[in-house]
Amino acid sequence: MSLKDELRGPSIMTFRLTASALAACATVLGTPAPTSADCECWHYVRAEGSTENATFSAVSAPSFDTAFAAGGRGGMPLLAHWNGVRWRETALPVPRDTTMEGVAASSTGDAWAVGYTPDGTAHTAHWTGERAWEAVPMPVHERSLPRAVDARSPRDAWIVGSRGEAHARAASWHWNGRRWRTVAVPDLSERSEPAGPRERAHSELVAVSALAADDVWAVGSSGSAASPSGAGPGQGGDAVRRAVITHWDGRTWTLVPAAPTRAAGGTSQSVLADVVALSPNDVWAVGTASPGTDVPLAQHWNGTVWEHVPIPLVRGRLYSVAGDGRGGVWAAGERTDGTALLAHWNGERWEVSGAPTPGDLEPGEGAPTGHGSGAVQDLANARGTSYLWAVGAYARPGPDEPVPHLLTWTNAPRHR
């Protein structure tokens, strides 16, 4: 299982994700505890068609009436389009075994979806507002795993991920309006603790957010994982990981130190899963740290340094972050008890809540009926508004174990 699969993808059989090999969590004294309540502003919207054994992992909303969601169903790629009234599936020009990882739209007539096949072949599809998505090749000559995409304009888009075999390394690609080209990323694995003789270094970028042609942020992790025959720390393939943050200034990618997260046992190990750049001095990154129990991790760039902004008294993982259209941010993921997690930063403190899930007998769109097993995998602000889309899945009883069913949520007024 890849790093991003472990971070952002719920297991096909359960939504209670396994703990990663992280060491300690951040503890900041004197930070106000978050308020916790059921946020009635969020409601769910079911997609048309079959939702069983499926999940959405990425969403982008270029307008109030348009959104795109990507994911998978039963090992097959899945993409849906919101037309202002309902979600409808759309065909993608990619192989049937493609894992869809990201989707991003700069406008209602310009969107990208990215993924890869099990052999490590990257695939991208482009939407230009016409009737169908079009396949666009990427300049790759080795195993490449695109993890995320962000589109700023029809002539400016970024993909980040990794390339290479056992010693995977962070990678990026840029769209200039005509073609994708590879853009070198520093060997982020060198910035982690040195790998031992039986260990292999790796690095990966899993999220990207572009403000301008010379102001782009990407986050992920680097570290070392023991080979199957290795001994000592990391034995059995467990990874030792460090959060990494990189910035593109128009010429090169540069590693920017993440905020330290410390606990009584020393420096914690952590991973970042998403980033959103709202302005040059307002950037957020979220992920997970763990002292044995996963702890949500949130960091903020103030224009000079990254600062740790803890969410106290909460256990779980954060998979996504997005602006709320009012100067704050929403973060989302999954609690350690397997229920969906939502957290809103209002400029002063975090307000923590959950996402409603459907009742077994309630068809179509529903009111909040409780917080059953589920996870929010991605968030997107509808450009120009204070409304958001959230995507993921919830669990329903199956013959053997819970079965994931894809679901979307929004805090926008209910459509008629």
Taking only the tens place, the pLDDT of each residue in 36-68 is 444 458 999 988 888 899 999 999 999 999 999
Return d(Cα 389, Cα 412) in angstroms, integer. 8
C-alpha to C-alpha distance for 411 and 348, rounded to whole angstroms: 21
Q: What is the pLDDT, as a whole number, of residue 231?
A: 29
Query: What's the rounded mean pLDDT across residues 24-41?
Result: 37
Q: What is the pLDDT of residue 395?
A: 87
Structure confidence by residue, pLDDT tens digits, 141-184: 899 999 999 999 999 999 999 998 767 899 999 999 999 999 99
Q: Where are the beta strands (DSSP E) in 249-339?
A: 253-255, 262-263, 266-267, 270-279, 282-289, 295-301, 306-308, 316-323, 329-335
Could you tell me the two tokens for 315? 């256990």
Return the DSSP state at 233.
T
CB–CB of 110/134 below 8 Å? no
Predicted pLDDT at 332: 98
Residue 372 backbone dihedrals phi, psi, to 5 degrees? -85, -170
Question: What pLDDT digit, counting tens, does each position of 99-124 carry?
Answer: 999 999 999 999 999 999 999 999 99
Distance of CA 71 to the CA centre of its chain: 12
CATH architecture of 3-10+25-226+256-353+362-410: 6 Propeller (2.120)
Helices (H) and strands (E) in the chain, counts: 1, 31
Q: How confident is the model at residue 233 (pLDDT cuts 50, 70, 90)?
A: very low
Calpha distance 272→247 (Å, rounded): 14
367, 374 contact by CB (below 8 A): no
Q: Per-residue pLDDT averaged across 241-264, rounded?
A: 88
Report which of residues 134 and 234 the model is more confident about: 134
Q: Name the more confident of 75 and 35.
A: 75
- Measure Cα distances from 29 to 35, 258, 284, 309 in Å: 17, 19, 21, 12
The pLDDT value recorded for residue 113 is: 98
In terms of average pLDDT, the best of 50-64, 257-271, 370-384 is: 50-64
- Strand, coil or helix: 235: helix
| Better-predicted residue by pLDDT, 20 or 33 | 33
CA–CA dist 111, 125 (Å, integer)? 8
d(CA 138, CA 94): 13
User: What is the separation of C-alpha 288 from the centre of its chain, rounded to a whole number of angstroms?
Assistant: 12
pLDDT band at 396 (very low <50, low <70, confident <90, very high): confident
Q: Across all residues in the chain, what is the average pLDDT?
A: 81
